[in-house]
Amino acid sequence: AIVVATGARTAVGGIGAALASTTEVESGLQRASAGLIRNLTAVALALALALVLLSWLWDGRTLLESLLSGIALAMAILPEEIPVILTVFLALGAWRLSKAKVLTRRVPAVEALGAITVLAVDKTGTLTQNRMQVAELAAGDASFQASESDLPERFHTLVEFAMLATPLDPFDPMEKAIQTFGHARLHGTEHVHDDRSPTRQYDLAPDILAMTRVFATTRPQVYTVATKGAPEAVADLCHLPEAQRQGIAQQVEAMAARGLRVLGVARGTWQAPAQDADWPARQHDFDFAFLGLVGLIDPPRQEVPAAIAQCRAAGVRIVMMTGDHPATARAIAAQVGLSERPDVITGAELDALDDAALRERLRRVDVCARLAPAHKLRLVRALQADGQVVAMTGDGVNDAPALKAADVGIAMGERGTDVAREAAALVLLDDSFASIVQAIRGGRRIFDNITKATRFVFAVHMPIIALALLPALLHWPVLLLPVHIVLLELLIDPACSIVFEAEPAAADVMQRPPRPLAASPFTLGNIGFALLQGLGIAAVLLAGHAALQMATGWSEGDLRLAVFTALVLALFLLILSNRDLHHAALFNLRGDNPWLARMFAFVALVLAAVLLIPGLREVMGFSSVRLPPLVAALGLLVLCGLWLQGLRLAWGRRLA
């Protein structure tokens, strides 16, 4: 053996270099949430410090009371639930995807699933069953269907050399099919040579899509050569005249149009000029005779047509990327409903196009055939440069750079290589196209639920901020102490991180177009609607507090009990109001979320404990429970419900 390259200069090293140069960008949610929390932290600290100084120096309160008010305000402003929401929703989303046979290796990919606009898929094993079988043989003008019982003698040599050009115990499904067919049809004849090992082998190369194996014969220095591969490559090795090549091409087109994957087979001999002569450097240096064609069929998966229809309804375009013959790829695409466009782009055509021309061509082409693995990376980058969000499936070592470059790389779990799985963000445990569609549905549901939870968090924080800040500015008794904020957070956190995470997917989740990749739950429309919800509740509670203070002369403990009880019960309304903007808030009690009733029971239990247990009631600063403050709390709750429903009718439809 002669070492011709080491390290980064080897083929594997080149793949590693391509992987190293392909960087993963921070997700949109990560960027948006980091900026939001940074800005809100600065606002919270500034307002809290201002409130401490104002309360201490201007209002004449003690330093301890002023610090407690400032701490309460800072706790109310800071949305510490946002990191919890992102972490829990994406982690549990990955867990839910695993139940659909999709393993998540990079959690941010869960977010990108809902933004996919193009799904680039391989044909074999993804759209088809990856269970190849020989369906048809062609030798000259004669053809043989595998459904026929006896193999005519004319085809024995074709089958024999197809077997010789194939390893005895192959991994590739196509090669397995050839060996299975050959042993079944040639068993017991002189044509089968189970014990023959090749003296030399020439593997597939980017410039020659054919595999050649050389066998020693009983004659010294004379070798038998068997090759199989792409029909045009084998015909080229045989140096056939143009007329014969055209005839073979027509046969291939006819077989491929029936959905067959077609291989050419040739035989040859080589006479070594001397005992220790060097082997030919290239397959072209052998003399070949063309034997015929082998057509193999890989039936489409039964679930693929329905899954493709779902993708089309969801605005996700499917692009097939395969190494098969263009006619075969086009036939399978038509069978599964992927595309009816006649145009197909091949690897050779791709090499002849510059980037701008390739982007323009890809807008009109859904099938890419005769691709080498290196072509996939260029296709992914061309689609991304055209503004598409690309998910790509792959299984080979050479697919790894493209898998990493895609917005969502999806590796095959059953037949994929370790390198492909390491580079991908998702791994299909069953190699099923339908699992990809389920992942897209799950990604959209997760983003919807993050949006709902974000809206709830901002809405529920507004009355807390108002009740912590305005009494100090208006010289009222302190309504919310830090202990109240802590208790409210204990109720808010499970509501946003558990209840909203368990929300089922909307009925129309797969009838919408993909969302922009830069879309965020923290948009002005979503946050503005949430702030209006919270401001309305804050206004009701503050106005109610002022009215009760003037009309009843209740003690500070009674007023705090009434307002705090109404605020806690308003959590129910905010959860219901933000579940589904298509329905009235009070009609969102449908039972498709198992955590909703549990959450309501938990809130009721906590509220009952702080109202009825004397020690807890004293810590909270409440008076003894009397009926009038509770009635007042229910009255305030009704007004909050009317505000939320009116706001939903006026604005909520725009966000639905």
**In this structure, are residues 215 and 198 in contact, taking their beta carbons and an 8 Å threshold?**
yes
Catalytic: 122?
A: yes
Burial of 644 (0-12, 13-18, 19+ CB in 10 A): buried
Mean pLDDT of 185-206: 71
Side chain identity, residue 61: R
3-state secondary structure of 128: strand
Mean pLDDT of 139-163: 89
d(CA 420, CA 409): 9
pLDDT in tens, 224-252: 999 999 999 999 999 889 999 999 999 99
Higher pLDDT, 641 or 73: 641
Task: Place 341 in a pLDDT band, splitting at 50, 70 and 90.
Answer: confident
Burial of 185 (0-12, 13-18, 19+ CB in 10 A): buried
Mean pLDDT of 494-521: 86
Mean pLDDT of 579-602: 74
From 59, 122, 278, 343, active-site residue? 122
The two structure tokens encoding residue 625:
């429970």
DSSP line for 362-418: HTS--EEES--HHHHHHHHHHHHHTT--EEEEE-SGGGHHHHHHSSEEEEETTT--H
The two structure tokens encoding residue 70:
């400032």
pLDDT above 60: residue 40: yes
DSSP line for 129-156: -S--EEEEEEETTEEEETTSSSPPGGGH
65-74, 105-114, 261-270, 423-432: the lowest-pLDDT one: 65-74
Average pLDDT, the chain: 85
pLDDT above 80: residue 66: no
- CA angle 497/594/611 to nearest 5° reads 70
341-345, 478-482, 532-536, 605-609: the lowest-pLDDT one: 478-482
pLDDT above 80: residue 165: yes
Task: Place 579 in a pLDDT band, splitting at 50, 70 and 90.
Answer: confident
- Burial of 326-354, coded b for 16+ CB within 10 Å and e otherwise, reads bbbbbbbbbebbbbeeeebbbbebbeebe
3-state secondary structure of 335: helix
pLDDT of residue 541: 93
Task: Place 193 in a pLDDT band, splitting at 50, 70 and 90.
Answer: low
pLDDT above 70: residue 591: no
The whole-model pTM stands at 0.78
**In this structure, are residues 423 and 403 in contact, taking their beta carbons and an 8 Å threshold?**
yes
